Chain A
Amino acid sequence: MIAASNKMSFDANKVVMLAEARSDNWSQLLMKVGADRDKAAFAVLFDHFAPLLKGFLMKGSALGPERAEELAQETMIKVWRKADSFNASKASASTWIYTIARNCRIDWLRREAKSSRDIEAEDIYDFGDENPSFNSLVQMRNRDKIRENLAFLPPEQLEVLAKIYFEGKTHSEVSLELGLPLGTVKSRIRLALNRLQVRMTAAEARQDA
Chain B
Amino acid sequence: MPEVRLHPNTDALLDYSAGSLSPAQAVAISAHLFYCPGCQAKTRTLNAIGGNLLANTEAVSVAVDCLSDVMAQLDTVDTALPEKREINNAAPQGDRWKNLPPLVKGLVRDSGISWRHLSSSLRVARLPVGERRFELALHQIKAGGSAPAHDHRGLEITVVLHGSFSDDEGVYHQGDYITREPGHIHTPVATANTECVCLSVLEAPIRLVGRFSRLFNPFLSFMPV
- Chain A residues in contact with chain B, CB under 8 A? 39, 42-43, 46-47, 50-56, 58-59, 65, 68-69, 72-73, 76-77, 80-81, 90-92, 94-99, 101-103, 105-106, 110, 115-119, 121, 123-129, 131, 133-134, 139, 142-143, 146-147, 150, 161-162, 164-166, 168-171, 186, 189-190, 193, 196-201, 203-204
Contacts and interface: CB of A to CB of B under 8 A. Distances in A.
A116 B225 CA distance: 13
A72 B69 CA distance: 12
13 contacts: A46-B67, A47-B67, A56-B57, A69-B66, A72-B62, A80-B70, A94-B51, A95-B50, A96-B51, A117-B130, A125-B19, A127-B34, A142-B45
Interface residues of B, number: 61
A119 B111 CA distance: 11
B103 A123 contact: yes
Given A73-B70, A80-B77, A146-B45, 7 more contacts: A56-B53, A56-B54, A119-B130, A125-B19, A139-B44, A198-B45, A204-B9
What are the 3 tightest A-B residue pairs by CB atom distance, in nearest-first order? Answer: A95-B51, A117-B130, A51-B59
Contact of B7 (A54, A102, A129, A201): A201
B128 interface: yes
Contact of B48 (A51, A55, A128, A142): A142
A95 B48 contact: yes
Interface string B103-114: 100110000000
B78 A126 contact: no
Nearest to B5: A202
Contact of A52 (B16, B34, B48, B55): B55
Contacts of A42: 74
A95 B77 contact: no
Contact of B60 (A58, A81, A125, A164): A58
Given A72-B62, A128-B101, A165-B18, A98 B50 contact: yes
Contacts of B57: 52, 55-56, 59, 166
A164 to B, nearest CB: 5
A198 B43 CA distance: 9
A50 B67 contact: yes
A162 to B, nearest CB: 7
Nearest to B131: A115
Looking at chain A's contact residues, the main secondary structure is: helix
B16 to A, nearest CB: 8
Interface of B: 7, 9-11, 14-20, 23, 26-27, 30, 33-34, 37, 40-63, 66-67, 69-71, 73-74, 77-78, 81, 101-103, 106-107, 128-131
A123 B130 CA distance: 14
Given A95-B48, A134-B40, A119 B23 contact: yes
A98 B47 contact: yes
A46 B73 CA distance: 14
A117 B129 CA distance: 6
Given A91-B44, A97-B54, A127 B30 contact: yes
Contacts of B30: 124-127
B51 A98 contact: yes
